[in-house]
Amino acid sequence: MSVATASVQPSTVSRRNPRKRRGAELALLLFAYGLALAAFVQVDLVMLDEVSEGFVSFAIILGVCAAGAHITLRILAPYADPVLLPVVTLLNGLGLAMIHRLELADATTAAAAPDYSAQLRWLVLAVIVFVAVLLIVRDHRILQRYTYTAMLVGLVLLILPLVPGIGTEINGARIWVRVPIPRGSLSFQPAEIAKIVLIVFFAGYLVVKRDALALARSRIFGIDFPRGRDLGPILVAWLVSLAVLVFQRDLGTSLLFFGLFVMMLYIATERRSWLIIGALLFSAGAFAAFQLFSHVRLRVDIWLDPFADEAADGYQIAQSLYGFASGGVLGVGLGQGHPDFVPFAKTDFIMAAFGEELGLTGVMALLLLYGIIIERGLRTAIAVRDPFGKLLAAGLSIAVGIQVFVVVGGVMKLIPLTGLTTPFLSYGGSSLVANWALVALLLRVSDAARRPPGSDTKRRDSKRERKRLQKQQVQRQQGAPDAPDDDAKTIVQ
């Protein structure tokens, strides 16, 4: 028996370039848009027995904003992650529907405020900022040049609410800046912008200093601890966080900034000792704040037993827990509960409103959406090739994760209340604009991570070739002889 053998010729195997996936993004975006419209219609039919006139403006504004962001990504970041924009659009749309629902409930009690219309305007501004970030930041690595400028800007933004005349104290926290405008005044939280700016600083600083910060001096229980002189950065971050807590009485922002720096420090150095040092410093600061400051002590007391003073200080968290209990597993349905019983349901406690009307299932779905944002961001951090991009994407993702944990944990009585807003869901212009800018930066990094190697060079070469052809065409029209190209020059030589 003879066996026929075929000679296999060596072949060059080329790796398939990653797909842009903008079509998949469009399909997901249409699905998210449909869910948001369905939520708005459900609210109107339950509470008004008809679809209100505001549905048209809601559908147009949300649709135009989503389409504009999608088209911008097709042009400016064609390889960006295809999942982030649909998820953000869905969260934003559901948040607008819930704010509209709460406003309808307030109207029945003569306590209405035009928060829904204002949030629509903030959405338009947020998407404009989203587009502007993608237009200005064509390469995320450029941001590394402004590391210490970002540090200065971030610190100025944190100090701004303390400046007499523009800083404003609302609900016990001095975290607002009020700027006079022709038709009144504009209020915003500088800490929301400082969050992004300081992430840029942390990423740029840790890229340069990570080798020194990773050096170990002693080993205790199998864990390498850093040298004493390398503890400076984490001590500075700790002191700044305590200053925010003391002077601005903002527990949420203090926890967010310190936790963010410790996590990015751990990612940069891969030393577990920084997590232990961060936990010890956090515990010491929390204990000192509890002993020294009455507002911190009050929040801890409410957290431990909100029903001890249910009619006064514990009223907000008690009503939130009643709402979660009323919602059960599947919820009572959009528009059929009483989330308006919870004070500040549009801002700090909007998750309690969803918990009552969508139940545990709806809350888990919302948390899953946030989990997708964090997972896609960390996936981008793994895939991107430059170390600054890795830390930047990781920092942006961790910021979203910490903020969601702090807010939802406080509403569910897992941790003391902090006062932060739920990203994309809660009412608040500065939070919405800052988080859309954060997503824009994350998409810019993901575009660099998924872009095939050498595509930038090919793009520059194609632009150069087009310019050369245009120049030859102009010369032909003017009757001048064609300029020899590079290959012709080589042959002549």
Collapsed DSSP state (helix, strand, coil) of residue 184: strand
Residue labelled with tokens 């050498």 = 454
Instruction: State the virtual CA torsion across 23, 29, 31, 37 in degrees, nearest 10.
Output: -150
> Beta strands 173-181 and 223-226: pairing type?
unpaired
Residue 493 lies in a domain: no
Alpha carbon distance 460, 456 (integer Å): 6
More reliable by pLDDT, 159 or 137: 137
Residue 470 lies in a domain: no
300: exposed, middle or buried (C-beta count within 10 Å: 0-12, 13-18, 19+)?
Answer: middle
More reliable by pLDDT, 327 or 481: 327
Residue 228 lies in a domain: yes
More reliable by pLDDT, 330 or 164: 330
**C-beta separation of 162 from 173 below 8 A:** no
- The total number of structural domains in the chain stands at 1
Would you state the pLDDT for residue 3? 39
Residue 492 lies in a domain: no
Alpha carbon distance 83, 89 (integer Å): 10
**C-beta separation of 66 from 73 below 8 A:** no
Alpha carbon distance 490, 478 (integer Å): 26
Alpha carbon distance 159, 166 (integer Å): 11
**C-beta separation of 342 from 412 below 8 A:** no
pTM value? 0.86
* CA angle in degrees (0–180, nearest 5) for 426-428-429: 135
Residue 128 lies in a domain: yes
Mean pLDDT for the chain? 84
Assigned token pair, 27? 């399909």
Alpha carbon distance 351, 40 (integer Å): 17
Collapsed DSSP state (helix, strand, coil) of residue 62: helix
Residue 318 lies in a domain: yes
In sequence order, the β-bridge partners of residue 202 are none
Assigned token pair, 407? 């807010």
Would you state the pLDDT for residue 234? 75
Alpha carbon distance 267, 283 (integer Å): 21
Which structural domain, as residue segments, surrounds residue 327? 22-450
The DSSP string of 221-251 is TTEEEE-GGGGHHHHHHHHHHHHHHHHS--H
Residue 250 lies in a domain: yes
* pLDDT tens figures, 88-122: 999 999 999 999 999 988 765 545 558 889 999 99
* pLDDT tens figures, 427-445: 988 899 999 999 999 999 9
Residue 359 lies in a domain: yes
457, pLDDT greater than 80: no
Mean pLDDT of 135-160: 91
